[in-house]
Structure 1
């Protein structure tokens, strides 16, 4: 993730190989190429990786605005198995107030099939 004066580099995102394609307070898109080490015992893409990618897109979006935000709530619904080796997470702000921002994050596979829906709420710590 990008570094700013208040929010440092996300070392976990870097270790996974997450690439932030674009980010603003209203929308962020992140992508990852999946390797063999990120698959579960059945050969599918690990659910923890899918959750982490969605969470990173959420963080990239809510922290692209004014102030510092932290995640308050997040949940995910896995909807289908992923095909291919690329995953993309698109976080879109769907509402909020002065202190809260609500996001919906769709995770898609390399064939652009929706594989998971992640919803989340962020709380603004400071301006």
Structure 2
């Protein structure tokens, strides 16, 4: 299981990479391992405004469907269209295969996210339980 040190995480296993006021959001390696074979990703629309904690995508695997939740509030400025044709990219490279990019409404919301070293411990505990 991989946790990248340049990202922040949520308890629901989303990651966020910030570049100025733009944030790229995806699912963590821990999430894709729990879901396993991802077969479909329902993406939002560009210009959708989504508040922190609201659903921004639904990810379907052979095991289950799972919602992904916004780690910060913002307006969607880009979606990763590759995922429409190749949702398995999330299994192959969960950190390279971002789902959406947003213009953040409130950067202070980043302070509530989980630091990599803490998130790594959360995932290790989940691995022990599996």
TM-score by length of 1: 0.25
Between Structure 1 and Structure 2, the one with more helix by share is: 2
Q: Which has the higher contact order (CA 8 A, sep 6+)?
A: 2
TM-score by length of 2: 0.24
